[in-house]
Amino acid sequence: MKAGIKWGCIVLVAVFAISGISLWSMGPDWRALLADPPTDTNILFWSQSQRDAGFKMMDKISVLVKSKEIQPSSNKRALSLGEPLDFTTNINTFFETQSLAGMLVLHKGNIRFERYGLGHSPDKRWTSFSVAKSFTSSLVGIALKDGDIKSLDDNVSDYIKGLKGSVYDSVTISQLLTMTSGVDWNESYTDPQSDVARFNNHIATDGLPTIVSYMRTLSRAHPAGEQWLYSTGETNLIGILVEAATGQSIAQYLGEKIWQPFGMADQASWLLGPDGKEISGCCIQASLRDFARYGLFVLEDGNINGKSILPDGWFKTATSKQADIGQPGSGYGYQWWTFDDGTFTARGIFGQTIFIDPARQLVIALNGNWLGATDQELNQQRFAFISEIQAMLDQ
């Protein structure tokens, strides 16, 4: 999850005025956002209407928010149309209740359902929030296969030198992936003083990347490996680790290893923090279809041109329960939310989801804008609807 995106819309209005660009020529999303500019620097505390517009253009205000582009493939993976699904649930009501910007159902690689809302469309991008964590996890697996990472049992501080002498000296890459480092972290999305709300505004004075400078100040809450604690900060460390191991930015690495070879059809981007590093726990901007294509990449075990680019059995391990999260039937893998029935999800705040069911060869990608960052009732409703789709496919 990415917090603390400083847009300063009043400044932008002045920039456009000086440039002679009219609000009308800027398109409906720009007009909506600038007509009601956020006054809070933290996107967690924007209004729903501000997010409706902003989530489609997080990477377009290059004056204040930097990003790295990820170029599309020259050999785009086609998605054929399959037989449309006939839902018993009222789909209009479902979209409205869920505040959905888009939903795409792929079954055996074919589109069985695709629909958009909130002004979203196939040619626009939507932000991923923590769905990006699962992408970052795959980059670790690729680096492991390539030999740039020697072992998941290596200490994190062997790769991120700035963590030497901190609590992360005794934390392994595996523990970082499963969020079982035991390092204290506050992921509250409603508390402006939580770690997740503050880390990106941290001023590094030690010459280190912002997230490393912030995380090295944290203290230990539990012995490493004993307790699961959700921490976006730790996924951000994983991105720094991959960059240190491979010598490439993670946006470049994603593009080179997955985006272009697998056939992603649209340009994507990865938002950067103030120090120019990708915020790897959050904020890939991509089309709904390319989010679904990533689900296919996982479903097909990372196979490109008939050969997996990941270690043998990577996804079987990464998407199965490695850590107990205190919820019966559920767990956490390598940056994936897992279920005991073999299904799993990449999940982000405000309703972003990629659901994968290997047994049914099913991928469901959803973009949304819930009223709050998290919502247990909407989440339960969403998975009830997914169960309906699974039942339809079983008939």
Confidence of residue 16 (pLDDT cuts 50, 70, 90): very low
Q: Is the pLDDT of residue 197 over 90?
A: no
Instruction: Report the C-alpha gap between 373 and 287 in whole angstroms.
Output: 21
pLDDT of residue 24: 42
**pLDDT tens-digit map of 313-345:** 999 999 999 999 999 999 999 999 999 999 999
**Which DSSP category does 255 fall into?**
I
Task: Enter the pTM of the model.
Answer: 0.91
List the beta bridge partners of residue 285.
127, 269
Residues 152-180, mean pLDDT to the nearest whole number: 97
Residue 265: partners with Cβ closer than 8 Å, 6 or more residues away = 72, 73, 76, 77, 287, 289, 290, 293
Instruction: Report the C-alpha gap between 106 and 113 in whole angstroms.
Output: 7
Phi, psi of 356 (to 5 degrees): -130, 130
Other CB atoms within 10 Å distance of the CB of residue 100? 22
- Tell me where in the chain the CATH 3.40.710.10 domain(s) lie: 71-124+288-394
DSSP collapsed to 3 states, 302-366: CEECCEECCCCCHHHHHCCCCECCCCCCEEECCCCEEECCCCEEEEEHHHEEEEEEHHHCEEEEE
Instruction: Report the C-alpha gap between 51 and 89 in whole angstroms.
Output: 27
Which one-letter amino acid corresponds to residue 144?
L
Q: Is the pLDDT of residue 2 over 70?
A: no
* Intra-chain end-to-end CA distance of the chain, in Å: 38
Residues 60-87, mean pLDDT to the nearest whole number: 88
Instruction: Report the C-alpha gap between 33 and 23 in whole angstroms.
Output: 10
Residue pointed to by tokens 């590094």? 204
Residues 301-311, mean pLDDT to the nearest whole number: 96
| Average model confidence (pLDDT) across the chain | 90
Residues 95-105, mean pLDDT to the nearest whole number: 98
pLDDT of residue 71: 97
Residues 148-172, mean pLDDT to the nearest whole number: 96
pLDDT of residue 40: 67
Q: Would you call 67 helix, strand, or coil by DSSP?
A: strand
| Statement: 71-124+288-394 belongs to CATH 3.40.710.10 | yes
pLDDT of residue 198: 84
